[in-house]
Structure 1
């Protein structure tokens, strides 16, 4: 009897939620397909800017700086559009965003081809980045809305699937941007990016049935940003480190391939890096983890730092591709776990904003990474740019280790981002 009683309180063996069951969720494919087309340009914009501006102005430092302005603008404006999407609905935000993006990218292309002063490129790059549709955050918010809050394993699988999709876009996007820019013209890569943004964004916005509930402002209520949560700030800081890896890799791999006399290979090498992340993400989502999300976050981030530490020493493109593959294996597990953690730290009315802060942090890190790598490459050669990923990721790991206590979800009564004295039923009226 004692043995039987003891067994009943043992921790049950975790169950695995497969991707097949996830994708059979009613209505999932109606938003997943257009979302893929709309998020593919996210991986094309920065690299497309680098390729175009380097071709017209002849400096990786300048090219990286223009790409950085775009990424910084996206990082700071993106969360505000996420908050607006939570309040007014996703379609209401997407429609003006894609229109502004197309106009801004067109202006950037015209200015670059006209060899306009660099400051004018910055003026065009800022709205181009600010208007990038936050599709990844919006898709994750739709999964949260469709899946039961009592099914954390299913939600974790959904976040794994989304991170794999993100990584797949980073496999296809750079290869596509490079192939179009080198095979057609440097401006053609950005033209394709803008076209995909418009078509995919409008198609995604049209899927209103699967949009999450709107959370309009309630008179007398005090709405607090998702960034008010210390745990969200910590995760955003750690994602900033991941972003430096993306940004520095894009510029450094491009410069390394150029120096090796094979500029067309840069997209393939970067795609292999992203492919390693995609493979790890697929496997990560199939595992029923026993360890807590916080422990997994620390472990995967430590592996990321370790993987980045060898990039600068690679002697040729083949070795760099292998090292990039190993480094990429830690990316998706880190991102999946981060999105899983942040979902537990904020209330329903701020989830899109919270996801967008993480995405924006990646963009801000991408800006810092591309700028720093571009300056190092101009001054010390292509390999010098690979110092940036290990430095950025190392700082992110230090923050996570020292402040890991902030990643514990608050108790249910205090899990409030949008506070109101009104009835909770009023917070979720209407669909976006």
Structure 2
């Protein structure tokens, strides 16, 4: 196994944040990211309140997640080609409007099929702020040692939103009104998305305008490593979705619905803390090794969730699960820089984000049905199964995660990108 040392000392977060123009897109981007962490749990809590079924709530949330997974890469491809602002402006308007329709239908007691119809545009129009921020970092830091620090910083930011978002959504839905979480999500999407879109001077140069006709139509999914990463990220989505539904059901079972936000916040806090630590370490092991190690730890930790029958034990193991997610997420996003040409990176990031959403969608559906029929313990089997399948995929196809060759080209595809030599 190859082992590389890129530097003796990892550039710190302070140096990263001093990058010219960084704060102008980070601050509005943070506000616009909150809805991603609030959407699924807000739908689950609203629909479960109006229908009385976790299965129905999970199914509506799943339709939203599948729609996002299918449309997010197309959004990323359009952003790469025409610019992020051109995609964001109509997207946030559609999302806010369709989310409002979903709220109205749920409160009116509309049939499940009507909720499914409203859920499609709600999910399809979720703004891909995280991938767009990562693409801006990649454009500013291409080839810089700060890129690994930026990947860690983005993971920390994502997980910080997953600390705040579910707790805020749960508090609003249980303490104010069942629809309050989704109303807040739609409002943050609109305001945060428009503010982020206004920072057009920091967005990557659209490939349509760079004059490289042979590069602009390269699809990120045509790269084998991206496909492997996307499949592995389904497992992370299974953890997020399975935890959200199963923790909600567990909190109901113990007679303390408000505990859901706290338990999920502990899980997300572990993820955030691990992300901070990962960003401070100058790794000597190869990225593929770290990725597999992260998934191994995640699978082992998730395998014990179903057996936890007290809030204290569940919170403790949930913290460990969260600690294992960040290394896998950070390494996966970092690998994109070495696998994908700059003209397709936003699309690549959205494939990974979409895979998380798709895994989450499947997980909330299956975990919801299991929780309805067999209780919350059965729902916790979903994260275990999802992470195990992801780990098997990585172990089987790890050679496809070799970076693009920087020195020699073996062959060229019909669209002009390099096909790398796989080197272990």
The residue number in structure 1 matching 2:110 is: 116
Query: 1:25-424 maps to which residues of 2 (within 5 A)?
Result: 25-147=19-141, 149-151=142-144, 153-216=145-208, 221=214, 223-412=217-406, 419=415
Deviations 1:111-144 (A, max 9, x none): 0000000000000011101100000000000001
Deviates more, 1:216-225 or 1:340-349: 216-225
The unaligned stretches of length 5 or more in structure 1 are 1-9, 422-432
Cα contact 2:5–2:284 (8 A) shared by 1 = no
The Cα of 1:292 is off from its aligned counterpart by: 0.8
Q: Root-mean-square deviation (CA), in Å?
A: 1.8
Deviations 1:132-162 (A, max 9, x none): 0000000000001111x332x3101001000
CA pair 184-13 structure 1, distance change in 2 beyond 3 A = closer
How far apart, CA to CA, are the structure 2 residues paired with 1:417 and 1:231?
15
How far apart, CA to CA, are the structure 1 residues paired with 2:160 and 2:5?
35
How far apart, CA to CA, are the structure 2 residues paired with 1:417 and 1:179?
52
CA pair 106-417 structure 1, distance change in 2 beyond 3 A = farther
The residue number in structure 2 matching 1:14 is: 8
How far apart, CA to CA, are the structure 2 residues paired with 1:406 and 1:355?
17
Cα contact 1:91–1:208 (8 A) shared by 2 = yes
Cα contact 1:225–1:350 (8 A) shared by 2 = yes
The Cα of 1:66 is off from its aligned counterpart by: 0.3
Deviations 1:314-370 (A, max 9, x none): 111111111100111011111000001122111111000000000000000000111
The Cα of 1:407 is off from its aligned counterpart by: 0.4
Cα contact 2:92–2:193 (8 A) shared by 1 = yes
The Cα of 1:293 is off from its aligned counterpart by: 0.6
CA pair 283-396 structure 1, distance change in 2 beyond 3 A = same
The residue number in structure 2 matching 1:424 is: none
How far apart, CA to CA, are the structure 1 residues paired with 2:255 and 2:159?
27
Three-state SS of the structure 1 residue aligned to 2:208 is coil
TM-score (norm 2): 0.94
How far apart, CA to CA, are the structure 1 residues paired with 2:146 and 2:414?
25
How far apart, CA to CA, are the structure 1 residues paired with 2:372 and 2:299?
24
TM-score (norm 1): 0.92
The Cα of 1:16 is off from its aligned counterpart by: 1.3
The unaligned stretches of length 5 or more in structure 2 are 418-424
How far apart, CA to CA, are the structure 2 residues paired with 1:338 and 1:416?
25
Cα contact 1:224–1:418 (8 A) shared by 2 = no
Deviations 1:8-65 (A, max 9, x none): xx96763211001001111111100000000111000000000000000110000000
Deviates more, 1:135-144 or 1:375-384: 375-384
